[in-house]
Each structure stands twice: as structure tokens, then as C-alpha cells.
Amino acid sequence: MKNSSYISKVNFHPTADVQSASVGEKTVIWQYSVVLPNAVIGKNCNINCHVFVENDVVIGDDVTIKSGVQIWDGMRIENGVFIGPNATFINDMHPRSKVYLEKYTASTLCEGASIGANVTVLAGVKIGKYSLIGAGSVVTHDVPPYSLCKGNPARHCGYVTRDGTVVHLNLMDKRGRIYQLIDGEPVIVL
């Protein structure tokens, strides 16, 4: 890891403890973050300060993880995902001190999904592509692609386009434009 050609392709803050050699080019890892040896992190990611990434974790390209997030064994994070500060992910629904599972329950954050600040995602949940989870929500079930969900427990309350435009359940956005769903994706028609 002290190889100068490797260090020139990524940017680790001196206080970061990055034990993995599987970190993509142009990825930045900030202060006091820890990345364990078997974690895989893609290209052009921004891992903010005070983030912990466990061993059985795969993070895609262009991912942003804000401060105070722990990514536990079993997590799969696809390209372009945003994770807000202090989001919490659970990989064991029945934890006990000093009891270690052979395999933890995987959760997946699909391409382009955005997770708001202080969101809690239970074990085994799949967050669909380009969906948006509102700050403080508790996600207890899978979230379909392009869905806006919020609350405790998180409930479907609208749709989200690839560029982040919120579309209400009546398939109109706040500017009055009308959408239709094509394979679950809101597409503007008027």
C-alpha cells in the first residue's frame, strides 16, 4: 500500500486506516475512516470522515458516503449511490454479544439510490435504483426502483426521476408536469 504509483491514484487522509488494496482510482478517503482488508471500493468515490467499512463489502464507482456511516459485512452498494450522514445499516436481526454468524444478511443499495441523513435500513433490504429515502426514515422492506419513501416505517409516497425530480403519487411534479410510469420509471409526457 505504500507503493507510490498506487498512492498517486487515490487520496487517503493521513489519519485514515485503509487496509484494503482494492480501492479504485480517484477515490478519496477522509479523516479517521477505517477500511478493512477485504473490502472492495470502486473508482471516484468520496468516503467522508469517521466512516467504517467492514471486510465483506463491495462499493461501486462514484459513490458518496457521508460522515458517521458504518458499512457492515454483507453490504453491496452499486454505482452512483449517495449515503447521507449517520445512516445506519443492520446486518443481523437477532444480535447477541460474542455471537458471530458465519454469514451476515446482505442488503443492497442499487444504482443511483440516495439514502438521507439518519436513515436506518434493516438487514436484507434492497433499495431499488434511483430511489430516494427521506431523512430519518426506517426502511423495513424492499424499496422499488424510482420510489420516494419516508417515515417510520418508511412508506412509498411518490416517485423520483433519474435526475432527482420528485413526482407525486398523482404523477405530477411541483411544476405541474405530468409523468407516466414506464417499467416503474417516471417519464415526462406533458
8 confidence band (pLDDT: 50, 70, 90): low
> Which amino acid belongs to residue 64?
T
Nine-digit cell at 129? Answer: 435504483
Sequence ranges of the domains in the chain: 4-188
The CATH homologous superfamily of the domain defined by 4-188: Hexapeptide repeat proteins (2.160.10.10)
| Residue 172 phi, psi dihedral angles, 5° rounding | -125, 145
pLDDT of residue 148: 98
pLDDT over threshold 90, residue 21: yes
Quote the DSSP letter at residue 7: H
- Predicted structure pTM score: 0.92
Q: Is 130 a residue whose pLDDT tops 80? A: yes
Q: Round to the nearest angstrom and report the end-to-end CA distance of the chain.
A: 54
**Residue 145: band (very low, low, confident or very high) from pLDDT cuts 50, 70, 90:** very high
Residue 2: which pLDDT band, with cuts at 50, 70 and 90? Answer: very low
